[in-house]
Each structure stands twice: as structure tokens, then as C-alpha cells.
């Protein structure tokens, strides 16, 4: 008796369809964010007089610009921690390296307008340096330093990640090593002989691309660029997690051994997303420095890297939008608490992190999703009644 060939053939494996990049509502929110950053905020700051009720002060614009830089770091952390399961406690290092690369260019832009009226940066004149060190070559070129913003943190992340992931270091051991790395870099940059300003770092910037930094238009342009870069990185992150590459990353997070048994090599995937996250932090640091006006080794402190993880956890891991919200929420609270109750800020941060860990494991994004689902259920029951 002949057996039907189609009956003996196993059915094809049907994978769930890849999620859309964004829904119609999501694209609408992105468009509103672009309009807010590029049009609304500049109009409220530059066009409305200072006494107007809707006027945004220069201080508030600068604070928002700084927080957006932090949000880029939180977004980068979400890609490696939330979607890949790699907890880094050293991403502040990549942020600071990007900031130092930008700071070197800004220091050269000071020219002879410094306190010592020398072609060398003031801290080098104070330390009796006679010439620029070798690693300052090309620092007067904006294009070269922007290349260094990407190359330095990217290369360091690639080399470190290659050896760490190849050795299958993971979990708490990986987190401790990353924190040791950033702590060692901080101690190195504190030394005056390294040529990075020592304890004081770089400050007293005058201009960028020949344009004075203290002009309202310049600072607003930096704000707009930062906002657009944040939105662009969000869309890039969304594209990654919705792609096949992103689905493999999530599989590595959930069951790395099974991923290896199915024929995938986790090293390449982990190294790629790890390096990309470092590049994002480097760009954030480069945007941070001209807006804040200073970069020093304190940005490499272990506490700074831990705060990036806190923003991500508070906002909600593996959501992309959650870490951005977390960065704004925590740093907005920090700005208020350090002015109103400066001695209690660290206690508040600790209580916030413990509360999120115990009662909001999915962060603010998870809380918003649950409230939305509850509202829909309530509305549905009312309609049925």
C-alpha cells in the first residue's frame, strides 16, 4: 500500500511574523517628538520673551539637552542588558571617552583666548609642557575628532568584548570586570602626565567650528541635534530588535546554550551589539560636553555607570522607550532633589531602585502598560453592561 508522500513530509516550521517597526500611533508620536525638539522648544526659548508664561529658560533647555544625552546611554544599555542579557557597569567609560574626544577639539578651539594666551591648553602651560603630546595630533580638526568619538570607544569595546565573550565571561563576573575597567581608566585620567587635564579635566570652552558656544542659537542647535540623534537611535534600536538579528539577541538572553546548539555563534552577535552600544555612548558624550561645558574623570566613576543601569531598570528593560523615560524621570528628580533636599538625594535614589526591583520589575513602562490594559478591561466591561 502506497503511503501518501505529503503525509510523510513534516510540516514546514512557521516562525511568528516579525513585529512592525512602529505602529501608526508610534510613527505619530515620533513625528510629534521631532516637531517638539526641532520647532516647539526653539520657539518657546528663542521667540518668546523671558517674562512670558510659556518661555523656556536657557537653564531648562540645557538641562533637557543633558538628560537627552543620558537617555542615549540608557537606550544603549537597554540594547545589551534588556535585549541581550549583558549587564555592563562600565558604560560610563565609553560616554567619557566620547566626551574627551570632543573636549580635545574644543580645547584647541580656545586658541590664544585662554588665561595664558598660549597655543597650548591652559592646563599644559600650567604644567610647563612645551608641546602637545602625540595623542593630541589632529585634535584641531573637527572631522578627525568626530572620527575619534567613534573610533576610541568602539575599538576599546571591540577588543575588550572579543576577549571577554570568547572566554564566555558572563553574569556578575562580566559586570565586575567592566566596572574594574572603568575604574582603572578613571585613575589613569586623573594623572596629570597623561595629558587629559588631570583632576580638572577640560573646561572653559569658547567656540565650536568657529562659532561661540555662549550664543543662544548655538546652544539651541546643539539641543536640536541631540534630540534628533536620540530619536534616530531609538528608531535604529527598534529596527534592530524587530529584525532577525534582534530575535537572535533575545534568544541569547533567554537561553544562550540552546542558541549554540542550533548552530548560531553568540560571540559575533554579542560583540556586534556590545560595540554598537559603546558607539552610542561615545556619541552621547560628544554631544554632552559642549552643552554642559566640562568633562573630567568623574564621568568615568563606577557610580556614573551604575546610574545608567538604574535609569534603564527604572524605565523598564527590553522596551527601548522605557530607559528614555527612566533617564528623564531619575535625572529630573535628581535636579529637583539636589536643590530642595541635597542631603537626601542618594537615599531617594536607593529607595527608588529598591522599590522598582521589588514592586515594578518591568519599570515605569511596564506599569504604564498594565494601567492601560486595566483601563481597557474596565471600559470593555462597562460597554458590555
Is 83:270 a contact under the CB 8 Å cutoff?
Answer: no
State how far the Cα of 347 lies from the Cα of 259, in Å rounded to an integer: 41
State how far the Cα of 91 lies from the Cα of 77, in Å rounded to an integer: 8
pLDDT digits (tens, 9 = 90+) for 314-326: 999 999 999 999 9
Give the percent of the chain with pLDDT over 90.
Answer: 76
pLDDT digits (tens, 9 = 90+) for 22-46: 999 999 999 999 999 999 999 999 9
Of the candidates 19, 25, 22, 16, the one whose C-alpha atom is nearest the C-alpha of residue 372 is 25
pTM: 0.93
State how far the Cα of 104 lies from the Cα of 274, in Å rounded to an integer: 25
Task: Say if residue 95's pLDDT is above 50.
Answer: yes
Q: What is the mean pLDDT of the chain?
A: 91
pLDDT at 385: 66
Query: CB-hemisphere CA count at 13 Å for 364?
Result: 18
State how far the Cα of 227 lies from the Cα of 221, in Å rounded to an integer: 10
Give the percent of the chain with pLDDT over 70.
Answer: 95
pLDDT digits (tens, 9 = 90+) for 112-165: 998 899 989 999 999 899 999 999 999 999 999 999 999 999 999 999 999 999
DSSP letter string, 263-295? T--HHHHHHHHHHHHHHHHHHHHHHHHHHH-EE
pLDDT at 347: 84
| C-alpha pair distances (Å), 35 with each of 38, 107, 304 | 5, 33, 31
State how far the Cα of 151 lies from the Cα of 149, in Å rounded to an integer: 6
Amino acid at each position: 500500500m502506497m503511503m501518501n508522500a505529503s503525509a510523510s513530509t513534516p510540516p514546514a516550521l512557521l516562525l511568528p511574523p516579525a513585529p512592525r517597526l512602529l505602529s501608526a500611533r508610534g510613527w505619530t508620536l515620533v513625528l510629534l517628538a521631532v516637531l517638539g525638539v526641532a520647532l516647539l522648544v526653539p520657539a518657546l526659548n528663542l521667540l518668546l520673551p523671558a517674562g512670558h508664561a510659556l518661555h523656556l529658560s536657557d537653564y531648562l533647555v540645557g538641562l533637557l539637552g543633558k538628560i537627552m544625552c543620558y537617555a542615549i546611554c540608557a537606550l544603549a544599555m537597554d540594547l545589551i542588558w534588556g535585549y541581550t542579557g549583558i549587564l555592563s557597569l562600565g558604560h560610563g567609560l565609553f560616554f567619557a571617552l566620547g566626551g574627551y574626544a570632543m573636549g580635545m577639539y574644543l580645547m584647541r578651539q580656545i586658541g590664544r583666548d585662554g588665561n595664558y594666551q598660549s597655543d597650548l591648553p591652559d592646563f599644559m602651560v600650567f604644567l610647563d609642557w612645551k608641546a602637545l603630546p602625540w595623542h593630541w595630533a589632529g585634535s584641531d580638526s573637527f572631522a578627525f575628532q568626530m572620527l575619534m568619538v567613534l573610533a576610541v570607544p568602539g575599538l576599546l569595546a571591540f577588543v575588550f568584548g572579543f576577549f571577554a565573550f570568547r572566554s564566555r565571561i558572563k553574569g556578575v563576573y562580566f559586570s565586575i570586570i567592566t566596572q574594574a575597567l572603568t575604574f582603572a581608566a578613571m585613575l589613569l585620567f586623573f594623572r596629570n602626565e597623561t595629558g587629559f587635564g588631570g583632576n580638572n579635566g577640560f573646561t572653559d570652552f569658547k567656540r565650536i567650528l568657529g562659532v561661540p558656544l555662549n550664543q543662544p542659537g548655538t546652544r539651541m542647535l546643539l539641543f536640536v541635534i541631540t534630540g534628533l540623534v536620540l530619536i534616530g537611535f531609538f528608531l535604529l534600536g527598534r529596527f534592530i530588535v524587530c529584525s532577525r538579528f534582534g530575535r537572535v539577541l533575545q534568544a541569547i538572553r533567554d537561553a544562550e546554550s540552546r542558541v549554540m546548539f542550533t548552530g548560531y555563534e553568540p560571540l559575533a552577535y554579542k560583540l556586534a551589539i556590545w560595540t554598537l552600544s559603546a558607539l552610542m555612548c561615545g556619541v552621547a558624550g560628544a554631544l554632552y560636553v559642549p552643552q554642559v561645558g566640562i568633562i573630567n574623570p568623574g564621568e568615568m566613576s563606577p557610580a556614573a555607570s551604575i546610574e545608567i543601569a538604574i535609569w534603564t531598570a527604572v524605565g523598564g528593560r527590553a522596551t527601548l522607550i522605557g530607559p528614555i523615560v527612566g533617564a528623564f524621570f531619575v535625572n529630573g528628580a535628581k535636579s529637583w532633589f539636589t536643590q530642595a533636599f541635597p542631603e537626601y538625594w542618594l537615599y531617594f535614589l536607593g529607595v527608588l531602585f529598591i522599590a522598582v526591583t521589588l514592586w515594578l520589575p518591568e519599570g515605569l513602562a511596564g506599569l504604564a502598560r498594565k494601567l492601560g490594559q486595566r483601563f481597557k478591561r474596565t471600559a470593555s466591561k462597562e460597554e458590555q453592561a
